[in-house]
Structures are given as structure tokens and as C-alpha cells.
């Protein structure tokens, strides 16, 4: 039937009434859209512009209709551009959990414009995935499964997000800026890693102070020249760029009003690593060419929780002293590693001569800076007293390291698997990030885990739609670490029941790998319930 809306797959997640007539609603919005007045006079350009505007209206109206039609309010719907397949206009749709969506840092940009700036890197990733879906649907013979690599989507998303940020600064031609920053961050200069800031702002911005102005701006696409001028950054000065060229050195005035959203900072912290900031908020991080959301900074409360769980009944003042050591290391210009050992005096003797023993003392200020200025770890006891510096850790290969991380991180993994078991390692990277090992899952209530499993098992029966079960299952997946054998068995059986039902009713099978208890799980991960 012309104009009829069909949802695939059919899972009962929407009421159909709010979806009726969405294309006609979109056509009415298109006819009354104020952007009609901006259409070019050239016939070909005008047709292209109006087609884009019509599609924009269809996507907006369908997004609003899906939100109104959803039977639960815990998801956000993003609609991609449509593709004509036979007699149908098909729109790909991705839904995400609303709470998780808004956890990512977001810019404040209008959505109801013809070419909106994506508000977060998360949104850019979803939009890039939708673009892939639209492209695949537009094939003469659409494929059932796309072969696009996830890294390709992430790179496209980062390109789009950075270009959108540059549009906010006034630069309409910022394509390629992400790749240029990737290259310059990875390029050494006379053997030194590139470190420094790049202020992204238009020339003449009232909140940008220019200390040195280049008469001939340096193109960011010329990696060698871009890297050479980056060497000048530091001592309170950053490169100044409009996204296409570096026009000088200077700084962003602290009085800059972040509500303007027209000045951003690209912070290059070490070889291949940089972050995109606005004000005090990081929006994008790139490590060796791989874009991601920035990692959250470790807080004092989380640090104290790990200290308590590793060392048991530790004095609160000692936990504070250890945090002060970690915080002081994070503020230095180089990375380091601090090993907190429950018997630091004995461990110092064991590691000799792979360490420089010192008289136990609490170090701070320039003494701590001196202790961390050489290769090797600093060995301290849980009361914050330093016992040795320049410690070379030993350990055994475990297969649990991370090839994308540096030598400090992986040597700490090996150490904790051997003689360092029962210790805590504080790893501070060059950009001031703090990692704690061992990585401990947060403590939760046993009753909460039990309720989650009960709800999932209950939803696997014949009376529950697949969308509801999938939503509960996604939540349960985040708690699998805490499941005991009986709970793993119950969840595996529930998933198998739904898998068979879905195959029978829809001809689609989503196979899951059976789960088993995590060997690292023990009762200490459960909170005491009153």
C-alpha cells in the first residue's frame, strides 16, 4: 500500500499509529521550510539543494515519529539517509541507550539545520555506520552483510567530527585536518617526540593572543614543516591554526567564553597521541591513528577504593599520601611508574642490584621529581614511604598484556603476575593519565546481580518480545564478570531458548558464545548489604 510504513525486524517495540503518514508530514515540512529561500538559481544546483532539503525533512520527521512510537523511553533513535530499493524507500535506523548516549561529552549545536555539526564523536560514529548502511542498501543487489572494517568507520567518524569542529571555528574547508594532526603527532623531530598544543581558531579571534605571526602561514598538510613549527610550541605558547594552516604562536585567553564554541585546542601529548579539547572537556582522543572517546581521569575516591581492596585495612591518611604521590607524578612533564608493595623493604632487597635503595622517606616536591626523573619504577610502601628508585621490575609473560600500550604498562602486568602479586602499580603516562593495576571491577550488590539474571530468564519465555529480551541481555552482558556457575547456566539456557524461538519465528539466528564464571571473581566484589 502506498505510504504504508513497515518496520523490520518486527519485534513489537513500536506503536504503529504515530508512524502513519510520516512521508506526507515530511513533504509538508519541506514545503514550508525556511531554507527553501536559500536554494541556488542554477537549475542543477537548485535541484540538488532541494533534494538534500527534502531528505533532511524526511529523516527529522521519521526520527520524531519513532521516538513518539517507541513503547519504552530508554532509547534514542538515529535515522540515516534513505535508499530506494524496488518500490520502497528504506531508512536505516540505529537505536542506543539514552543514558549511555548522554554520558559522552557533547557540543551544543542545532540539529534542525540542513547540514548539522555532529555534537559528539559518538554521534559521528553512529552517523558513519548509518552512511555505510545507506550505501549498501543503494547497491543494485544489496548484500546481507557488509565487509566494512570497524576502523574504517571510526576514521570516517573522526574526519567528520574534526571537520565539524572546524566549521564551528569558521573554517568551512577542514577536510583532512584529522589526518594532518595524526601525521604530525607521529613525526619525530631530530629524534624527539612531538609535544605541544594547537589552538584551532580563526585569525583575528578576540580571545586569541598572537605572540609570533607568520607572514607565510604553514600548511598543516606539509607534515615536515608542520612538525618543525610544532617544536616551537611550549613555554606557555601554542601553535595557532585555522585548520588549514598555522598562522602563528600564542595562547587562548583564559577569559574565553566556552558558550561561543569557536575555539578548540588540540593537545599532542606523546608520539601518535593527541586529544581534541573545548574548554576543560576532551571530546576526542587518537592513539596511533585509532580514534576513541577520551578516557576518564582517575579520581581520588576511585583510587582510595582500589587501595583499600588491594591492601585491606589501610589507614585513610596513608591512602591520601599515596594519592598525593600519584597526583604529583601526573603533574610532571614525563611519565613514570610507582610500585606500592605491602613489604617494600624486603622487595627492595630482592630486586637489588636492579634498584637504587634509599633511606625510607616520604618524598614530595623536587625530591619526588628527582626520584622519577630516571628510568625504572619508584618503590614505596603502603604508608607512602619510598624505599628505592630506578627499580627494574622482573616478571613472567602471561599473555594478558596490551600491545597498544607502552613498556611501562606491560612490565607492570608481568610483575603483578609474578613476585609482585598483592602489590599495586601506579602508571603515569606523559599526558598525565593515571592507570592503576590490578584493574578491579567495581563492587556491586549481590541482590542486584540476582535480579538481573531473574529478569533475563523470565523474559526468555514465549510471552516476551525479542526487543525486550535483547535490551535486558545487553545489560546482563555488562555484569557477566559477577555470575557464578548456576547463573551462567541459567543465562546460557535463556539465550539458547530465545535463539531457537527467533529462528522459528523470524528465520534469523544470532548465535552467542556460552559464558562461564570468571576465575578472577570472588566474594570481595560484592558490597555488604544491610
Q: Are residues 41 and 67 in the same domain?
A: yes
Residue 422 lies in a domain: yes
Q: Are residues 269 and 388 in the same domain?
A: no
Residue 4 lies in a domain: no
125, 160, 195 - which closes a domain: 160
Residue 3 lies in a domain: no
The domain in which residue 450 lies consists of: 446-525
**Which is it for the CA torsion 309, 310, 316, 322, positive or negative?**
negative
Could you identify the residue written with the cell 575555539? 263
* Residue 253 main-chain phi, psi, to 5 deg: -60, 135
Q: Are residues 146 and 184 in the same domain?
A: no
Q: Are residues 245 and 228 in the same domain?
A: yes
Q: What is the CATH number of the domain that holds 411?
A: 3.40.1700.10
**Which is it for the CA torsion 489, 491, 493, 496, positive or negative?**
negative
Residue 2 lies in a domain: no
User: What pLDDT, on the 0 to 100 scale, is given for residue 353?
Assistant: 85
User: What pLDDT, on the 0 to 100 scale, is given for residue 143?
Assistant: 60
Q: Are residues 286 and 317 in the same domain?
A: no
User: What pLDDT, on the 0 to 100 scale, is given for residue 17?
Assistant: 83
378, 405, 437 - which closes a domain: 437
Q: How far apart are CA 275 and CA 335, in angstroms?
A: 17
Instruction: Point out the residues of the chain with pLDDT beneath 50.
Output: none
Q: How far apart are CA 250 and CA 197, in angstroms?
A: 10
User: What pLDDT, on the 0 to 100 scale, is given for residue 203?
Assistant: 97
Q: Are residues 308 and 433 in the same domain?
A: yes
Q: Residue 354 contacts by C-beta under 8 Å, 6 or more apart in sequence? A: 376, 391, 392, 394
Q: Are residues 43 and 125 in the same domain?
A: yes
**SS3 per residue for 188-245:** CECCECCCEEEEECCCCCCCEEEEEEEEEEEECCCHHHHHHHHCCCECCEEEEECCCE
Q: How far apart are CA 112 and CA 494, in angstroms?
A: 43
Q: What is the pTM of this model?
A: 0.76
Name the domain count of the chain: 4
Q: Are residues 481 and 451 in the same domain?
A: yes
Q: Are residues 306 and 432 in the same domain?
A: yes
- DSSP state string for 373-409: SSSSEEEE-TTS-EEEEEE-------S---TTS-HHH
**β partners of residue 379:** 339, 388
Q: How far apart are CA 308 and CA 438, in angstroms?
A: 13
Residue 166 lies in a domain: no
Residue 116 lies in a domain: yes
Q: Are residues 201 and 268 in the same domain?
A: yes
Q: Are residues 133 and 219 in the same domain?
A: no
Residue 470 lies in a domain: yes
Q: Are residues 276 and 179 in the same domain?
A: yes
Q: Which residue, 184, 84, 182, 81, is CA-closest to 134?
A: 81
407, 437, 467 - which closes a domain: 437
Could you identify the residue written with the cell 616520604? 362
Residue 10 lies in a domain: no
Amino acid at each position: 500500500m502506498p505510504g504504508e510504513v513497515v518496520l523490520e525486524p518486527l519485534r513489537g517495540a513500536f506503536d504503529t499509529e504515530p508512524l502513519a503518514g510520516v512521508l506526507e508530514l515530511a513533504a509538508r515540512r519541506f514545503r514550508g521550510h525556511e531554507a527553501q529561500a536559500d536554494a541556488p538559481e542554477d537549475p542543477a544546483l537548485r535541484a540538488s539543494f532541494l533534494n538534500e532539503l527534502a531528505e533532511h525533512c524526511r529523516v527529522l520527521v521519521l526520527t520524531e515519529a519513532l521516538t513518539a512510537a517507541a513503547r519504552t523511553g530508554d532509547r534514542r533513535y538515529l535515522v540515516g539517509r534513505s535508499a530506494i530499493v524496488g518500490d520502497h524507500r528504506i531508512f536505516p535506523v540505529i537505536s542506543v541507550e539514552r543514558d549511555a548516549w548522554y554520558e559522552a561529552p557533547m557540543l551544543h549545536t542545532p540539529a534542525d539545520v540542513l547540514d548539522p555539526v555532529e555534537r559528539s564523536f559518538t554521534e559521528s560514529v553512529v552517523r558513519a555506520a548509518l552512511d555505510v548502511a545507506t550505501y549498501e542498501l543503494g547497491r543494485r543487489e544489496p548484500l546481507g552483510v557488509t565487509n566494512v572494517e570497524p576502523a574504517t568507520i571510526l576514521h570516517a567518524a573522526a574526519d567528520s567530527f574534526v571537520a565539524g569542529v572546524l566549521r564551528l571555528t569558521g573554517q568551512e574547508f577542514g577536510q583532512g585536518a584529522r589526518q594532518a594532526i595524526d601525521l604530525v603527532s607521529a613525526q619525530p623531530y631530530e629524534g624527539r617526540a612531538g609535544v605541544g598544543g594547537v589552538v584551532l581558531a580563526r585569525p583575528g579571534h578576540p580571545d586569541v593572543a598572537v605572540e609570533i605571526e607568520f607572514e607565510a602561514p604553514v600548511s598543516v598538510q606539509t607534515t615536515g614543516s608542520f612538525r618543525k613549527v610544532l617544536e616551537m610550541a611550549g613555554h606557555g605558547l601554542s601553535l595557532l591554526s585555522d585548520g588549514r594552516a598555522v598562522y602563528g604562536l600564542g595562547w587562548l585567553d583564559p577569559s574565553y567564553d566556552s558558550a561561543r564554541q569557536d575555539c578548540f585546542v588540540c593537545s599532542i601529548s606523546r608520539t601518535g597521541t593527541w586529544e581534541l579539547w573545548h574548554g576543560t572537556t576532551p571530546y576526542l582522543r587518537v592513539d596511533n591513528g585509532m580514534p576513541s572517546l577520551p578516557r576518564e581521569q582517575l579520581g581520588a575516591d576511585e583510587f582510595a577504593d582500589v587501595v583499600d581492596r588491594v591492601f585491606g585495612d589501610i589507614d585513610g591518611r596513608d591512602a591520601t599520601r599515596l594519592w598525593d604521590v600519584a597526583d604529583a607524578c601526573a603533574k610532571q612533564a614525563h611519565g613514570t611508574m610507582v610500585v606500592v608493595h605491602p613489604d617494600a623493604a624486603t622487595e627492595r632487597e630482592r630486586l637489588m642490584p636492579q634498584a637504587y635503595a634509599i633511606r625510607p622517606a616520604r618524598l614530595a616536591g623536587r625530591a619526588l621529581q628527582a626520584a622519577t626523573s630516571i628510568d625504572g619504577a619508584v618503590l614505596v610502601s603502603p604508608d607512602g614511604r619510598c624505599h628505592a628508585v630506578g627499580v627494574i621490575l622482573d616478571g613472567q609473560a602471561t599473555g594478558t598484556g596490551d600491545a597498544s600500550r607502552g613498556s611501562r604498562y606491560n612490565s607492570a602486568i608481568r610483575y603483578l603476575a609474578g613476585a609482585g602479586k598483592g602489590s599495586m602499580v601506579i602508571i603515569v603516562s606523559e599526558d598525565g593519565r593515571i592507570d592503576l593495576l590490578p584493574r578491579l571491577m567495581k563492587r556491586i550488590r549481590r541482590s542486584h546481580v540476582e535480579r538481573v539474571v531473574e529478569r533475563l530468564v523470565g523474559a526468555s519465555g514465549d510471552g516476551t518480545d525479542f526487543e525486550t529480551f535483547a535490551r535486558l541481555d545487553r545489560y546482563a552482558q555488562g555484569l557477566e564478570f559477577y555470575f557464578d556457575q548456576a547463573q551462567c547456566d541459567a543465562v546460557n539456557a535463556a539465550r539458547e531458548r530465545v535463539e531457537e524461538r527467533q529462528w522459528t519465528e523470524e528465520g534469523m539466528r544470532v548465535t552467542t558464545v556460552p559464558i562461564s564464571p570468571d576465575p578472577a571473581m570472588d566474594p570481595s566484589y560484592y558490597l555488604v548489604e544491610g
